Structure 1
Amino acid sequence: MADSTSSMPVGTTGAGGGNMLRITGLNTGLDIDAMVKKMLTADQTKVDNAKQQQQLIQWRQEAYQSIISDVKDLQSAYFDITNSSNYLLSSNSYNNMTATSSDAAMVSGKASSSASVGTYKILVKQLAQNADLTGSKMSVSSGSSTKLSELGLSTGDNISLDLVYNNGGTTGSKTVTFAVKDSSTIQDLADAIKNQTNGDVTARFNELTNQFSIQTSATGSSSTLSITDTTEKYNDEDTKDILNALGISEDKTATAVEGKDALVAIKEANSNDYIVSKQSSNNFTVNGVTYSISDVNSTNSDISESNTGESISVDTTTDNPVSISVTQDTSKVHDLVSNFLDKYNKLVDEIRDKLTEKKDYDYQPLTSTQESSMSDTDITNWNNKAKQGILRSDDNLQKMLDDLTNAFVSPVKDSDGNNVSTFYFGSIGSNSIGIDTSSEVADAGNVTITDDTKFAEALQNNADAIMKLFTATSDSTDTSTKFNQSGIFQRINQILTNNVGSIGSTYNTAILTKYANIQDDYSISGGSGTGTLPDQIYQKQLIIDQLTDKMSTDQTKYYNQFTELETAMEKLNAQQSTLSAYFS
């Protein structure tokens, strides 16, 4: 008689594998594992198909993420405001004028695109000053960290100063109050004056001279300051007020103090005359040249407020003017735009290639069974073929590419519908800038400098017009109007932001980023969401799980049926053995 336990070994083959106890057909002589595997072929095919569909979506997601990364590289390289050397939206990027000072420690200069080429000279008679009340030298022990108790104040005293000021055109009247604590210092009082006047009036203790000063932050003769001490007396015996304690006597506060204007004389390029100018700041711009003056270099020349705007003679024996040399070089702007277009075209090439890449339907994602019989190299080569055409005719990418092309070719208009510049994008016509789209089908969407001479001349002679064409901005909230009124590079920046988000952001709802990275569907049925790639991957996984569960159920059912058959055959065999023994 057969041993019933010997006919039930552990099954390790077949469609399911695992460690389930299986009957392997010792009684029937059938290869049950092979038969079950064949019976599960339809189930396995459904699972494989779902996994292949999911793999295609995952490859599409990876391709999207690669393009997003490249778009962000372009965005960071040329539209990041912190990257001043390559920032395409700054007017400074289109300034081809350079200013060099003969004595930058005394006077430095910068030239805008409106400055004239040549040598400028400047004499400084007087620096601009703020309205200032400076006390006499104080006898204190620890400088600005000296406690107010050393000046006769104690905890609980309340300092009160009424300030009336004109800070470079900003007028104000403020009562500054300060409650004295044991730890209160002179610096704490200075901070209170600055903070309570929003920085219009500042105070400082000079640790070199031991003098306390209160002043407007702005310079110039229009700046004024008056102070009234309304602090209660320190104690019954002491009649000093806080300003006296700080060395600022009553005679200094009797009338408002005024700031002073800078007095300079400037000889511009191609001029023989020094013209006297009065400036409210030590940093000022005249005819496209910005001067930053730090010291006086004129003592004898006739520079005074009374002859402002007039020419003067210069005493060259004693006065030594600083020279500012302004030169023009268009190569920097040319290289910036050229380098941007090179990187831009590489991105366009990448997107265009993906949009037009043909799909080879002979190459589908491999199943695990197929991969088991292939080398790693063969698998890689196969997958590369299977990935081809994964983004062919993609709507989102085609829309972005169309928008980018349109950003270049659409005229830039002002609020009245007129062109913002006499120059225009293209290569045909005397006012074209020599930058145009490619006429080659293979390079569709590419933008290049087609005429270096035209572009260089436009930069040299009409830098402001070129700047408007590239960087004009719009306050309109209407999308179409804003696009029409924005400069070419402003448009490009907005398109990139719309598709991948602002610089520095990764998880956002921009068009490409959301589609590639954000899952909205977490439902059990997979019926919600917005159709993003993560949604699609999730929904395919739900199908795979359902099909796998069904396959497992079918496998168990088939093995149970064969187990019943084996059991029946075992009983039949036992009966036959008994009969055989009886008749023998």
Structure 2
Amino acid sequence: MDIDSMVKSMMTAKRVPLDKLNQDKQLLEWKRESYREMNSKLYDFRTNKLTSKYGVSSAMNMQTAVTSGNTTAVQADASATANGIDMAVSVTQLATKAKVETAGGGKMVPASRTLAEMQMIIDGKDPSKLTEDEKKAYADKTYNFSINGVSFTDSNKKTLFTSDTSIATVVATINSKTDAKVTAKYDELTGKLIINSKSSGKNSEAKLGEDAKDSELLSLFNQKAADKSVFNTADGVNAFAYVNGVKIEKDTNTFSVNGVTLTLLKETTSTVGENVKPTDSGVLDNPLFITTTTDPTKAIETIKGFVEDYNALILTLSKRIGEAKYRDFAPLTDEQKAEMKDSDIEAWTEKAMSGLLKNDDILKSTLSSMRTLITEKLGSLSAMGITTGSYSENGKLYIDEAKLKQALTDNPQGAIDLLQGPQSAATTGLFDKLADTISKSLSSIADRAGTNRFSGELTSSFKEESVMGKQLKEYNKRISTMLDYLENAETRYYNQFSAMETAMNKLNSQSANLLSSFGMS
């Protein structure tokens, strides 16, 4: 008996339900992948386009600051709220940061040098000629440091700066202590360590500890000073400027006036100080002059980009919703693939994967909601030169660029209010409403497929507690049960046929013996 062939033939029929389970599971996995692809596209449009690109105020800013006069002293950037008032800007004092600066620890001292090596330079010691006791003393040396009441110590109150700490590590350690509110930098050319307060103005601080030990670290960078414990310090000061004759005091060099952001770069007066007036006798002043004009170029590019991205998304949604579904093309089994060419497998699988999201309720709702939002604002959009195509184009947008440019020039604020929302109700703009609609769709997809609504990554993992995740768990359980059943059935068949074969062999043997006894063999 050919037992293997007989068992294989019988098991083929029994494996049909298992093949169907695996095919259904594969379809579900493919559908989940399709949802993840749509999640990625929706997330990208909402987060990277509507919110981060088109929704920011600068994207629709049509105000441009035109400067003349002392253009190197002040930088002017008009915001969307610039009110068009001409301004003359004079600067009598720049805001500065509080500072501690050492005299220097030697020329061309690399940041890789350790504190022990710096100490040896101060002591005039040759590392190659040190005694064992001296080597140990340098190795055991530590350096204290505190600024603005913050000490640089570990949890055991031991200083972080030891003999083998490099200059680069010193700088990094100081900068890592956010509560010290300072930043440090090191100049290899001069050997200077410079520590500035993070903020500027008269209230900024870079105060060293009162105990001499609190500045042991800095003394290594102060070799050029007669007294190694005395450092160059400076308090921060406020900025003083005059705009159209009105005195302005700020603790920073960047501030806004009349919707224009001013960045003070240098003083414009021949005499500098907080009490200096540009009109004082003997004071020479070279001010900056600012006018604002409307330039819709940036806004036009923003709107064109939005329309292009919007059209691309609704086209993708429409294609997925209307994609053909080939019900006769089920996922291939391993046995079927073994009998096919790679090109045939690829063509078959492409049809099997087609239409997985055909007429999908989430995608249809998303597309419908997006088109509804456009329709609600179509009157205002049309006045700007933005219209929709035919019904068959599923709401595709078109732009009349000449009409758009004229509309933006005539009423720039109206366009901003329509697309980004007015300042009093910023979330009522078209961009925000579209983003909100897509956020709801992302949540629906996440609930169903287990996708990550906060990420557009195509490699992000699925959440097993989603609807489809639970369905896949059930498939795996049923497949496991079916495999156990088939394994038991196959074993039973083999046992039965083996027993049958043994019995037949025994019967044949008995028959042969009987015939032999009658002399018939």
State the TM bucket, normalised to the shorter chain: 0.5 to 0.7
Measured against aligned partners, the alpha-carbon deviations of 1:336-392 in whole angstroms (never above 9, x if no partner) come to: 2113212321331243135xx5564x5555667777777766666555555555455
Q: How does 1:438-457 map to 2 (within 5 A)?
A: 440=391, 448=397, 457=407
Q: Pick the structure with greater CA Rg.
A: 1
Measured against aligned partners, the alpha-carbon deviations of 1:56-82 in whole angstroms (never above 9, x if no partner) come to: 3203312431341343245346624xx
Classify the secondary structure of the residue corresponding to 1:115: coil
Measured against aligned partners, the alpha-carbon deviations of 1:210-239 in whole angstroms (never above 9, x if no partner) come to: 77766533223454676673337999xxxx
Identity of matched residues, %: 15
Is 1:93 the counterpart of 2:64 in the alignment? no
Q: How does 1:121-520 map to 2 (within 5 A)?
A: 122-132=89-99, 137=103, 147=118, 163=148, 174=149, 182=163, 198-201=179-182, 215-223=196-204, 229-231=210-212, 245-248=228-231, 257-263=235-241, 265=243, 277-299=248-270, 319=286, 321=288, 327-329=295-297, 330-353=299-322, 357=324, 360=327, 364=330, 387=353, 390-391=356-357, 397-399=360-362, 401-402=364-365, 405-406=368-369, 409=372, 425-428=376-379, 440=391, 448=397, 457=407, 460-466=412-418, 468-469=420-421, 487-493=433-439, 495-496=441-442, 499=446, 500-501=451-452, 502-503=454-455, 506-509=459-462
CA gap of 1:404–1:120, structure 2 versus 1, over 3 A, is farther
Aligned-partner residue type, residue 281 of structure 1: T
Q: C-alpha displacement at 1:151, in angstroms?
A: 7.2
Measured against aligned partners, the alpha-carbon deviations of 1:511-530 in whole angstroms (never above 9, x if no partner) come to: 9x9566x5xxxxxxxxxxx2
Classify the secondary structure of the residue corresponding to 2:361: helix
Measured against aligned partners, the alpha-carbon deviations of 1:270-291 in whole angstroms (never above 9, x if no partner) come to: xxx6765444322222233223
Q: C-alpha displacement at 1:259, in angstroms?
A: 0.8
Classify the secondary structure of the residue corresponding to 1:198: helix
CA gap of 1:284–1:406, structure 2 versus 1, over 3 A, is same
Structure 2 residues without counterparts, runs of 5 or longer: 124-137, 154-158, 217-224
Contact 1:219–1:259 (8 Å) recurs in 2: yes
Q: C-alpha displacement at 1:47, in angstroms?
A: 1.2
Classify the secondary structure of the residue corresponding to 1:245: coil
Contact 1:426–1:436 (8 Å) recurs in 2: no
Q: C-alpha displacement at 1:303, in angstroms?
A: 10
CA gap of 1:424–1:306, structure 2 versus 1, over 3 A, is farther
Q: C-alpha displacement at 1:127, in angstroms?
A: 2.2
Structure 1 residues without counterparts, runs of 5 or longer: 1-7, 17-36, 164-173, 236-241, 266-272, 411-422, 475-484, 519-529
Classify the secondary structure of the residue corresponding to 1:462: helix
Aligned-partner residue type, residue 434 of structure 2: I
Classify the secondary structure of the residue corresponding to 2:305: helix
Q: C-alpha displacement at 1:200, in angstroms?
A: 2.9
CA gap of 1:491–1:432, structure 2 versus 1, over 3 A, is farther
Find the counterpart in structure 2 of residue 480 from structure 1. none
Q: C-alpha displacement at 1:462, in angstroms?
A: 3.1
Q: C-alpha displacement at 1:129, in angstroms?
A: 1.7
CA gap of 1:557–1:210, structure 2 versus 1, over 3 A, is closer
CA gap of 1:276–1:539, structure 2 versus 1, over 3 A, is same
CA gap of 1:47–1:291, structure 2 versus 1, over 3 A, is same
Classify the secondary structure of the residue corresponding to 1:292: strand
Q: C-alpha displacement at 1:130, in angstroms?
A: 2.5
Q: C-alpha displacement at 1:428, in angstroms?
A: 3.7
Classify the secondary structure of the residue corresponding to 1:217: strand
* Matched residues, number: 471
Contact 1:201–1:217 (8 Å) recurs in 2: yes
Q: Residues of 1 paired with 2:206 and 2:84: CA distance?
A: 42
Aligned-partner residue type, residue 340 of structure 1: D
Contact 2:209–2:215 (8 Å) recurs in 1: no
CA gap of 1:510–1:96, structure 2 versus 1, over 3 A, is farther
CA gap of 1:151–1:558, structure 2 versus 1, over 3 A, is closer
CA gap of 1:129–1:494, structure 2 versus 1, over 3 A, is farther
Of Structure 1 and Structure 2, the greater helix share is in 2
Q: C-alpha displacement at 1:55, in angstroms?
A: 1.3
Q: Residues of 2 paired with 1:100 and 1:563: CA distance?
A: 104
Q: C-alpha displacement at 1:50, in angstroms?
A: 2.4
CA gap of 1:12–1:98, structure 2 versus 1, over 3 A, is farther
Contact 1:138–1:247 (8 Å) recurs in 2: no
Q: Residues of 2 paired with 1:293 and 1:220: CA distance?
A: 13
Measured against aligned partners, the alpha-carbon deviations of 1:530-574 in whole angstroms (never above 9, x if no partner) come to: 22x354245324314423541452354246436634653565466
Q: Residues of 1 paired with 2:163 and 2:342: CA distance?
A: 77
Q: How does 1:104-123 map to 2 (within 5 A)?
A: 107-115=74-82, 122-123=89-90
CA gap of 1:286–1:493, structure 2 versus 1, over 3 A, is farther
Classify the secondary structure of the residue corresponding to 2:304: helix
Aligned-partner residue type, residue 540 of structure 1: I
Aligned-partner residue type, residue 292 of structure 1: T
Contact 2:240–2:247 (8 Å) recurs in 1: no
CA gap of 1:569–1:225, structure 2 versus 1, over 3 A, is closer
Aligned-partner residue type, residue 211 of structure 2: T
| Structure with more relative contact order (C-alpha pairs < 8 Å, separation 6 or more) | 2
CA gap of 1:55–1:473, structure 2 versus 1, over 3 A, is farther
Aligned-partner residue type, residue 377 of structure 2: G
Aligned-partner residue type, residue 362 of structure 2: K
CA RMSD of aligned residues (A): 5.6
Aligned-partner residue type, residue 245 of structure 1: K
Q: C-alpha displacement at 1:97, in angstroms?
A: 4.5
Find the counterpart in structure 1 of residue 479 from structure 2. 540
CA gap of 1:283–1:58, structure 2 versus 1, over 3 A, is same
Classify the secondary structure of the residue corresponding to 1:229: coil
Contact 2:74–2:288 (8 Å) recurs in 1: no
Contact 1:109–1:292 (8 Å) recurs in 2: yes
CA gap of 1:142–1:149, structure 2 versus 1, over 3 A, is farther
Find the counterpart in structure 2 of residue 45 from structure 1. 13
